[in-house]
Structure 1
Amino acid sequence: MSDPLQPRATPRPALRGSPNHALFGATIGFFIGFGAVSLFGPTAHSFVRVMHLSPEQVGFLVAIPMLTGSLLRIPFGAWVDTTGGKLPFLILLVLSVIGIGGLYYMLLTLYPTHLGQQHYPLLLLFGALGGCGIATFSVGIGQVSYWFPKRNQGWALAAYAGFGNTSPGLVALILPLLIVFIGLWGAYLVSLGIVVAGIAAYLVLGHNAPFFQLRHEGLSREGAAAEAAACGQELFPQASALRALREAAAEWRTWALVLLYFTTFGGFLALTAWFPIYWQSFFRTTHWTAVILTAGFSLLSSLIRVPGGAWADRFGGEAVAALALLVLLAGALIMTLSGSFALSVSGELLVGAGMGVTNAAVFRLVPNYVPHAVGGAAGWVGGLGALGGFAVPPLLGHFVGTMGAAGYARGFLVYVVLAVASLALTGVLRLGPRRADPTMNPKAALSR
């Protein structure tokens, strides 16, 4: 009787794509999805001015894309374990472009004289849809992970997240210039065209890993796993998205990684929103100076993820995370105590570098600690961790409200506390017992 795990005697179906092609396609898709949400900022300001929204309405309006984009990372990240990623990726990108397109339509047809409070629910709906682009992150993490061997996970995931994360910084620099030269409607139309082109590029380049392609061709899970393993695939998924979430949730290290990511990526999102206020209010900089400093922080924190992932591959995710968190802690202490503009800029750079490298190290550890449910773990870590961008700004604002102008600096105590707690947690991860890795044996992985 033949072993069902042996490759078929019939010719193997031609597999589409390669690890590097899949990485390039997923990065383009995430870049477009994350950047599309950044288009909402200038538009939201235009709506606020003509609709006379209350502060509470403004706060919810600005938060809604981040909220939906964060929470959707959980189910869509887990869905990768059943489909391979391309379908959920495309659904999120299409929902995002519908939201951004709806906002553009409101600008084109109602702005500025016909907009009123009665349009606020519609504005929230389009903002929520636009936020779906943020959720592509966890989908791409799973999609890329299944293509690459474990020894290259850190570099691959860091390249994906690092280059994809640059889009908010680039949009913050380029979109205001477009608005100056061709107006709000023209800039928005150009941006929308770029988003649609990016979706088309992902459609062509965003191939699923071999296991999922072979499953689509009709092979059994066991047969597809055997042939995919022969092609070099090392990580294999759960049969159910819900099971992937449950398996990931049952692993305590998943929740440790969530808290680390809350500090560094959630903290990154919070500071991209807070820094323009901080620089203009605390140091009285010009608008463009604040924009450049914030964009520099965003780009540094994003791009340093790429070498950070390679360092995590070489030296280990825990060691690299610990060193990066020390850098973050040093930067946060400088910004807490400093009243000097130059010193605070250096603190900002240290915070950005520490956050970016830690982010890379965290997702280097996901396939190490939760190899049996990478998609589910990516959903939990990416989704709940990103909620830091929703939770931290009110804490920073509380310091200002209670301490006045000095609170802009003292608010960075939040990051001091988070960095210290994350360092302690990294030590626990390093010293904790390790579980056996079932994914190096496809039969064991698929029998779970």
Structure 2
Amino acid sequence: MATAYWDREGEAAQAAPATSFWKAGHTPTLIAAFLYFDLAFMVWVLLGPLAPSIAVTLALTPAEKGLMVATPTLAGALLRVVNGLLVDRIGPKRSGAISQIIVILGLFTAWLMGVNSFGGTLALGVILGFAGASFAIALPLASRWYPPEHQGKAMGLAGMGNSGTVLASLFAPMLAKAFGWNAVLGLACIPLSIVFVAYMLMAKDAPNAPAPKKLIDYFQPLKQADAWWLMAFYAVTFGGFVGLAASLPIYFTDQFGLTPIIAGYCTAGCVFAGSLVRPMGGALADKIGGIKALMMVYIVAALALAGVAFATTLTGALGLFVLAMLALGTGNGSVFQLVPQRFQAEIGVMTGLVGMAGGIGGFYLASSLGIAKQLTGSFSAGFLIFAGLSVLALLGMVVVKTRWRTTWSTAARI
């Protein structure tokens, strides 16, 4: 079937035959989107790996630790809507440049002045939310260059930048031990600045961007049930992923008495699994359809998270977390294979809205684990409730699958 798409020079190739993924879009922009997303995610969850050290210095309670690591997630969720609007009005490249500058200046200021109170950690968390909001920029930046049949792979590869959480888990605890956790905030500015320069040189806005609309028009998708369903599905997949990424360092140190560095290694292994399979999730959804892929995801995630609630050994918990992250990472790619199939014209704002829902899910998981620990002395209740949410998401997919397959114009790809 003939497909219209934009070539590497930005010139329309109307009714061109379907072509390979690497020839269909703009590879430098895809790389730039990945790098930006990767480093942004690294600093977005930075408070998680640093939490054991910060908690000792500031004498934080379990609930305060949970809220501290959850605040960047919530801030990022809300700011994703803002970034989604900016993408559609001023373009993704400029939106990304503004966001990166805010994060770099914020981290530099925090390092220079120091963070000396629980309130200070929350203020820093809000600044780091701008990094989490990169999601609503990096994905449209990359995906607008690609035709529908390659949307899953493009958004999956750009979204693989969530592997930046691995970098935070691996290096932040070691740097904190060597130089102090406050110094890590300043050191993070170095790779961020390097990536900012590369981003400005490599990224290019696609020429087929939709025309700017009135502000109220951007929220028209919320009048449609499909938008809310996609937001709910992503709240579970991405919410589970980022909530665990932020919380696992605390879990491993509190539950099994690991040092922050060893806890960081364990977290990195779990997060790497979820990050690695995100593009595979998009490709899997392209192959078998996002609906089938998500149904499998929710079953595995529910079983793994329920198992974690009763795990008594580090090996058992680690294995179940890896399994959960593999499922959730696959689900992240699968949801964003579906989004452009239904909302191609509103992809910028829908990326922001769906991403916001994912961030809210992550905020809930991270904060609820801290509350559960403080109230019951165990993390189990938090994991069991989120496993239940995975089951509800599965039931929701059962409810909508027939209607989606019979009413969407791209039904053959879902």
Q: TM-score, normalised by structure 2?
A: 0.84
CA distance in 1, matches of 2:384, 2:53: 33
1:375 aligns with 2:348: yes
Equivalent residue pairs, number: 391
CA distance in 2, matches of 1:324, 1:54: 34
How many Å apart are 1:397 and its aligned residue? Answer: 3.9
Q: Which moved further from structure 2: 80-89 or 330-339?
A: 330-339
How many Å apart are 1:94 and its aligned residue? Answer: 0.9
Q: 1:417 maps to what in 2?
A: 388
Would the alpha carbon gap of residues 42 and 264 (structure 1) be closer, same or farther in structure 2, given more than 3 Å must change?
Answer: closer
1:168 aligns with 2:165: yes
Q: Which moved further from structure 2: 198-207 or 336-345?
A: 336-345
1:38-437 aligned at under 5 Å gives the runs: 38-40=45-47, 61-107=68-114, 120=119, 124-162=122-160, 164-181=161-178, 187-212=184-209, 237=210, 239-240=212-213, 242-243=215-216, 245-401=218-374, 403-404=376-377, 407-433=378-404, 434-435=406-407, 437=409
CA distance in 2, matches of 1:35, 1:131: 12
Unaligned runs of 5+ in 2: 1-6, 12-23
Q: 1:229 maps to what in 2?
A: none
How many Å apart are 1:23 and its aligned residue? Answer: 1.0
AA aligned to 2:159 is: A
CA shift digits 1:66-86 (9 cap, x unpaired): 222110101211332233311
CA distance in 2, matches of 1:130, 1:15: 34
Residue identity over aligned pairs, in percent, reads 28
How many Å apart are 1:408 and its aligned residue? Answer: 2.7
How many Å apart are 1:143 and its aligned residue? Answer: 1.9
SS in 2 for 1:210: coil
AA aligned to 2:349 is: G
Q: Which moved further from structure 2: 144-153 or 323-332?
A: 323-332
CA shift digits 1:130-168 (9 cap, x unpaired): 321110101122222211111011111111112x10112
Q: 2:37 maps to what in 1?
A: 30
How many Å apart are 1:338 and its aligned residue? Answer: 3.4
CA distance in 1, matches of 2:58, 2:271: 30
CA distance in 2, matches of 1:53, 1:180: 19
Please tell me whether the aligned partners of residues 266 and 387 of structure 1 are also in contact (alpha carbons under 8 angstroms): yes
Q: Which moved further from structure 2: 201-210 or 54-63?
A: 54-63
How many Å apart are 1:436 and its aligned residue? Answer: 5.7
CA distance in 1, matches of 2:257, 2:51: 24
CA shift digits 1:271-317 (9 cap, x unpaired): 12332333333334444332222111111111111211111111111
CA shift digits 1:2-34 (9 cap, x unpaired): xxxxxxxxxx99649952221111111111222
Would the alpha carbon gap of residues 81 and 429 (structure 1) be closer, same or farther in structure 2, given more than 3 Å must change?
Answer: farther
Q: Which moved further from structure 2: 297-306 or 384-393?
A: 384-393
SS in 1 for 2:98: helix
RMSD across aligned C-alpha pairs, in angstroms?
A: 3.1
Unaligned runs of 5+ in 1: 1-11, 213-236, 439-448
Please tell me whether the aligned partners of residues 99 and 127 of structure 1 are also in contact (alpha carbons under 8 angstroms): no
CA shift digits 1:336-369 (9 cap, x unpaired): 3433443322211211111000111001100012
Please tell me whether the aligned partners of residues 81 and 352 of structure 2 are also in contact (alpha carbons under 8 angstroms): yes
CA distance in 2, matches of 1:22, 1:13: 10
Please tell me whether the aligned partners of residues 305 and 324 of structure 2 are also in contact (alpha carbons under 8 angstroms): yes
How many Å apart are 1:128 and its aligned residue? Answer: 2.0
CA shift digits 1:32-89 (9 cap, x unpaired): 2222234445777777666677887766554432222110101211332233311111
CA distance in 2, matches of 1:34, 1:365: 23
How many Å apart are 1:260 and its aligned residue? Answer: 1.1
How many Å apart are 1:391 and its aligned residue? Answer: 1.4
Would the alpha carbon gap of residues 154 and 160 (structure 1) be closer, same or farther in structure 2, given more than 3 Å must change?
Answer: same
Q: TM-score, normalised by structure 1?
A: 0.78
Please tell me whether the aligned partners of residues 66 and 371 of structure 2 are also in contact (alpha carbons under 8 angstroms): no
How many Å apart are 1:101 and its aligned residue? Answer: 1.1
Please tell me whether the aligned partners of residues 53 and 181 of structure 2 are also in contact (alpha carbons under 8 angstroms): no
Q: Which moved further from structure 2: 146-155 or 52-61?
A: 52-61
Q: Which moved further from structure 2: 90-99 or 51-60?
A: 51-60
